[in-house]
Amino acid sequence: MKCARRFLCIPVVWLACGLALAHGLEGKPEWNTFGMPGTPGAATRTIALVAGDMRYSLKTVAVKSGETIRFVITNRGPSKHEFVIGDRAFHAQHIKEMEAMPDMPMDEANSVDLKPGETKSLTWRFTRPGDYLFGCDIPGHFQAGMSGTIKVR
CB 27 within 8 A of CB 108: yes
- List helix spans (H) across the chain: 2-26, 31-34, 88-100
Per CB under 5 A, which region of 13-21, 42-50, 98-106, 144-152 contacts Cu ion? 144-152
Tell me how far, at minimum, the Cβ of 106 lies from Cu ion, in Å: 11
Measured from the CB atom, is 52 or 130 closer to Cu ion?
Answer: 52
Residues 124-143 that bind Cu ion (CB under 5 A): 136, 138, 141
Q: Which is nearer to Cu ion, 45 or 88 (CB)?
A: 88
For residues 70 and 141, which CB has a smaller minimum distance to Cu ion in the complex? 141
Q: Which stretch binds Cu ion (CB under 5 A): 29-37, 73-81, 85-93, 113-121?
A: 73-81
Geometric angle at alpha carbon 53, from 47 and 55, rounded to 5°? 45
- CA angle (37 as vertex; 82, 120 as ends), nearest 5: 35
The answer to whether the Cα torsion of 133, 136, 139, 143 is positive or negative is: negative
Binding site for Cu ion (CB under 5 A): 81, 136, 138, 141, 146
